[in-house]
Amino acid sequence: MACVFCDIVAGTVEADVVLETPSLLAFLDQRPVFEGHVLLIPRAHVPTLPDLPAELRDPFLAAAQRLARAVVAGLGAQGSFVAMNNTVSQSVPHLHLHVVPRTKGDGLRGFFWPRRRYADGERAAVAARLREALASLD
């Protein structure tokens, strides 16, 4: 199956690259939320964050930190919004992290997720299920 991000890595699709390492690539989003919206990807095809090889975790996060600092230093942003989707709402099935420059009053409203309260005892039960799942992943 064709992957536009793999094509960017291969050089067959043009992109405005802002950061290159042997294992990572960052480039401007073609449809940015704000000017300077960057996408960070592993050069190897990795579908989602859970699929990211252990040896890429630290370099990936370090590059994200550098990009978050760069949008402030280079573009005059006051901060950034850093996010990624895994499968659901993932427009390209290749791991990509968004670094979006932010300025107070920029109009970005964030996420409008419905909120709810836990029923009595429910929160502890959910936490226990997550701890159990984490333990089984170790």
The residues that are catalytic are 96
Query: Rounded CA gap, 115 and 113, in Å?
Result: 6
Question: What DSSP character marks residue 115?
Answer: -
Query: Rounded CA gap, 106 and 102, in Å?
Result: 7
Give the H/E segment covering residue 68.
helix 54-75
C-alpha of 66 from chain center: 13
Query: Rounded CA gap, 96 and 87, in Å?
Result: 11
Query: Rounded CA gap, 38 and 35, in Å?
Result: 9
Query: Rounded CA gap, 104 and 106, in Å?
Result: 6
